[in-house]
């Protein structure tokens, strides 16, 4: 994925139009049109940075900025008062882009920072942390990029790039075997959620190579993983928290997925300061 993806460009454009509308009347009234200034973005707390690569895109869309220097990149750990970017240009442009740029930095760095906490918690295990589709509508690609910046492995982007057969699919298909038979020749990864030992046996007999076990305790998950004995990759999911993720990772699971990485992330505080030339 790229920070310059067309869907991301469209979202940035929407954010600018949403905030600026017909024009920044405060800046227009108080700041001379020809005033040039420098601006710097600072972290106000320790964090994992994400989204700084959007700054050139934001200012490119508005024009009037002749110099942008990124002093850090997504995935970098930054400390309080660390400068992450510098811009130079028309003061009115800097002011009208201030809030939008900070909103992206704060939200995405919050996701990256929480993602890093989950990853750090299971260091030393063979398990990988996955993100989920529990993202802010419209922000899917950005939040996936931010999660990756924090060290998380991206799961599928949407319904279009991998098969994940869940309980409602099994019911609608008529059973585990029927669902798997219909995706036997799929050209994308295939995973199936199983709820019982009977469903697990049926999935393995039908050739499943990747299974999801949902809402088990670490003890229950360990027991099922021992039973699977390497016949399929195993993902654990369901209400997994920072306090519990290491216990799940130590069960022998290949993956642990955590929706909290995106839907419970708190924004990181950043500041933008302008100085006249």
Q: Is 41 exposed, middle or buried (0-12, 13-18, 19+ CB in 10 A)?
A: buried
Catalytic residue among 166, 182, 195, 231: 166
Is residue 166 annotated as part of the catalytic site, yes or no? yes
How many Å apart are CA 255 and CA 1, to the nearest integer? 21
Q: Do 97 and 12 meet the contact criterion of CB atoms below 8 Å apart?
A: no
Is residue 214 annotated as part of the catalytic site, yes or no? yes
Catalytic residue among 86, 128, 134, 231: 134
Crossing angle between the packed helical segments 197-205 and 218-228, to the nearest 10 degrees: 30
Q: Is 203 helix (H, G, I), strand (E, B) or coil?
A: helix
Is residue 62 annotated as part of the catalytic site, yes or no? no
- CA-wise closest residue to 213 among 231, 190, 191, 183: 191
How many Å apart are CA 236 and CA 200, to the nearest integer? 14
Catalytic residue among 193, 224, 235, 254: 193
Q: Do 125 and 249 meet the contact criterion of CB atoms below 8 Å apart?
A: yes
* Terminal Cα-to-Cα distance of the chain (whole angstroms): 37
Catalytic residue among 62, 86, 214, 233: 214
Catalytic residues: 99, 134, 166, 193, 214
């Amino acid at each position: 994925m790229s920070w310059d993806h067309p869907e991301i460009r469209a979202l940035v454009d929407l954010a600018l139009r949403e905030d600026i509308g017909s024009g920044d009347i405060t800046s227009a009234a108080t700041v001379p049109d020809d005033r040039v200034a420098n601006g710097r973005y600072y972290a106000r707390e320790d964090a994992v940075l994400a989204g700084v690569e959007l700054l050139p895109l934001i200012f490119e869309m508005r024009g009037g900025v002749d110099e942008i220097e990124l002093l850090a990149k997504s995935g970098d750990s930054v400390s309080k008062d660390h400068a992450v970017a510098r811009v130079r240009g028309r003061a009115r442009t800097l002011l009208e882009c201030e809030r939008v740029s900070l909103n992206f930095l704060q939200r995405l760095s919050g996701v990256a920072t929480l993602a890093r906490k989950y990853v750090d918690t299971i260091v030393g295990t063979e398990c990988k942390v996955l993100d989920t589709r529990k993202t802010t509508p419209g922000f899917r690609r950005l939040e996936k990029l931010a999660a990756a910046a924090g060290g998380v492995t991206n799961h599928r982007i949407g319904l279009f790039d991998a098969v994940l057969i869940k309980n409602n699919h099994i019911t609608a298909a008529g059973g585990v075997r029927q669902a798997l038979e219909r995706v036997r020749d799929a050209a994308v990864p295939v995973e199936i959620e199983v709820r019982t030992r009977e469903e697990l046996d049926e999935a393995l007999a039908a050739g499943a190579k990747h299974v999801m076990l949902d809402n088990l305790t670490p003890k229950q998950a360990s027991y099922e993983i021992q039973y699977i004995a390497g016949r399929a990759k195993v993902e654990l999911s369901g209400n997994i928290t920072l306090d519990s993720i290491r216990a799940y990772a130590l069960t022998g699971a290949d993956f642990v997925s955590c929706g909290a990485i995106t839907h419970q992330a708190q924004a990181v505080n950043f500041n933008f300061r302008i100085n006249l030339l």
